Structure 1
């Protein structure tokens, strides 16, 4: 028994079409596809959390002070539970899970 109704499937399909293009419109939406998408979102957020701690380039002046200030801003952003995801994280995850989503849509 599937847990998703028509509206859930339609919303999930819209997300996949946005990620993978028009070809995703023909993919069958089911609970397995939803589980893969949830796994993808967790991975995107994990990647983003890790990237929050990568230092930003410094400019002229007190580089140590700039580095410390930039790092503190990132830590505060993480603590505020910032919901943004870095593009590199989303693009990598979307590419990595394409086959798994297609197989899940076929019931494999």
Structure 2
């Protein structure tokens, strides 16, 4: 269902993982941008890239100074994310929302500490 459905993937995973598993999600001419700073090598099937004109790119997120400038700018201009903290029991509801359409354009965060405390 999700295969060939994305033009861009911002991969922020900072642990060793198989990037190749994300390549089929890219539409023709799609790009996956590596942002996580993984130090291990990635194995990629070049044919999956070449025939669909897909690409892999990378970018650094910046150092402490540029990150602080970004945080200061957001604070000064009251730029904050829209976040909905939900209990783990609602994970299926959240998955349904995200798999159909996230009209609210917000980030969902699982409240694991309070969920585990209720068991």
Q: What TM-score range do you get, normalising by the shorter chain?
A: under 0.3
TM-score, L = length of structure 1: 0.21
TM-score, L = length of structure 2: 0.19
Structure with the higher fraction of residues in strand conformation: 2
Structure of higher RCO (CA pairs closer than 8 Å, 6+ residues apart): 1
